[in-house]
Structure 1
């Protein structure tokens, strides 16, 4: 988290739904680095937010308390009242839910997801280490956007190195991380977090 903050990012747990030009849907929930100036970066404590970006209106955001004793209780009680009044049947009848097998055809595989990535590796303090992991990234068609390394060494004479990438497919990153773990010059398992560039209004 500290290294991400140094690079201008804030760590948030996001649930993301996206539709591409081919109407393929990407659905996922994971920790994400987002720009520290983004409005979602300022959502903390019991507050939750929903951010929607539409081509005609730009970014829309719904913000309020969604966690904690009273907010959670009010939502549960509201659902119970809806069931008691019979509103749920009316709501779900108008949703026009599609069969699961039909919906599954619209969901894109996670390996096809295109994103930027934050990678932290613990490199042994020896010559040629940078060349080794940078070659692995190049072999998997991954371009480096930025890198961060501080002076000094940590446990077992290792140095933390942080890399951010340009947009690439998830399957490329997964394969590259597997190859990095095999390097004797890298200690432990690399840390990988997706960087989510949330669209914002330009004006």
Structure 2
């Protein structure tokens, strides 16, 4: 039985996990694929750097061409990160008829379609299960497990850093800056957390999920993105008082005309919703299918071994395809042309906090604006503020179009009775619509 030779680009946290699994699970892998799996070469920046796994030095190289141009290497595993430079490596690997497994969400969100095209042209597999939600097999489930269904909506907690921060803020009543610092000290947040807390990391993952789930080419620029940096302890306190939990949710939905909406934003969920109990660094994706109904995929969203498990599972898939002679046939071109919902086709409930001047007629003026747009209230709280002659109004609307709601916000800003709009968030019930 000829061994399958692997070349790896990168040997960081995930790469070390991949090496560990391939070495420690060789018997299991042999049983799965029917042949040995051998790591032949690994690209690193510094050969002499101390590492989490013991690697013979002769396996390490600083020259990518020793992997990309080696005719004996069958599969390239990319776990080095980066976008444009890494794209060049993967294009060369595919052009050299090497199959590719990657954990790179940034790359796949931006260049996935191009890489898939080149892979198909060269009869190669391109798998990227680990690019979304770490150890959760969500992409494979969408492409294979739910292949016969029509996916209507996906809601996901797909960024562990922000979920950790929001969990701590909710449970401890702590300020955002304080919890972010703790997350950085524990290694859950990067020194520069902008991509995570600004929502961009989650947006890249939702781009991939929407493209696969809806069989439609969704671009990163199509995703409306709002991060968590403006969330305060008061927002979370009032949300809890009204029976909600705050999560940074990726939301992708489509209607019966195959128009889609994809967004990442802080969202309130009822406390009894399954996603509301997903805490700390864990991820979960809630999927609504026309036939299957509601399903949820839950697990660790990051970490060396969980993410490496997804990488090696993709590797097993590639090798099985090699033995069957069906490589390069798994990529399915998008079935539907991209059609994005307009603001008047996106409907949701909304949570709104206002500071107002406590004067006769103030509430009537506010309700008048909502009534004009035919938007009614589901829940209302009104409390006096410490500062004289001001009050706080917290309300949750019934369903309204995004167009109407944005017009309401603009009119409230111009209303003399409104001192300040403190915050505004989407509210999800969890139904398919």
CA 1:128–1:78: 2 relative to 1, 3 Å: farther
Match of 1:138 in 2: 371
- 1:139 CA displacement: 1.1
Match of 2:412 in 1: 180
Unpaired segments ≥5 residues, structure 1: none
- 1:93 CA displacement: 5.8
- 1:40 CA displacement: 0.3
Give the 3-state SS of the residue equivalent to 2:251 in structure 1: strand
Distance 1:126 1:110 in 2: 34
Q: TM-score, normalised by structure 2?
A: 0.40
Q: 1:94 aligns with which of 311, 331, 341?
A: 331
Select the structure of larger CA radius of gyration.
2
- 1:22 CA displacement: 1.6
Match of 1:128 in 2: 361
Match of 1:36 in 2: 271
Distance 1:137 1:174 in 2: 11
Contact 1:65 1:71 survives alignment (8 Å): no
Which structure's relative contact order is higher, taking Cα pairs within 8 Å and 6+ residues apart? 1
Distance 2:328 2:386 in 1: 57
- 1:29 CA displacement: 1.1
Distance 2:362 2:294 in 1: 43
- Answer yes or no: is 1:70 the counterpart of 2:304: yes
After alignment, is 184-193 or 45-54 more displaced?
184-193
Give the 3-state SS of the residue equivalent to 2:409 in structure 1: helix
Contact 2:353 2:421 survives alignment (8 Å): no
After alignment, is 115-124 or 73-82 more displaced?
73-82
- Answer yes or no: is 1:19 the counterpart of 2:251: no
CA 1:75–1:182: 2 relative to 1, 3 Å: farther
Distance 2:289 2:313 in 1: 29
Distance 1:163 1:52 in 2: 28
Q: TM-score, normalised by structure 1?
A: 0.81
Unpaired segments ≥5 residues, structure 2: 1-235, 322-326
Match of 1:10 in 2: 245
- 1:163 CA displacement: 1.2
Contact 1:177 1:190 survives alignment (8 Å): no
Q: 2:345 aligns with which of 78, 87, 112?
A: 112
**1:4-24: CA deviation from partner (whole Å, max 9, x where unpaired):** 111111111111111212221
Distance 2:273 2:309 in 1: 27
**1:56-102: CA deviation from partner (whole Å, max 9, x where unpaired):** 332111100003x43676379659969x98x9xx568613147xxx7
After alignment, is 49-58 or 72-81 more displaced?
72-81
How many residues are treated as equivalent by the alignment?
Answer: 191
Match of 1:163 in 2: 395
Root-mean-square deviation (Å): 2.8
Q: Once superposed, which parts of structure 1, at least 4 consecutive aligned residues long, lie more than 6 Å away?
A: 79-82
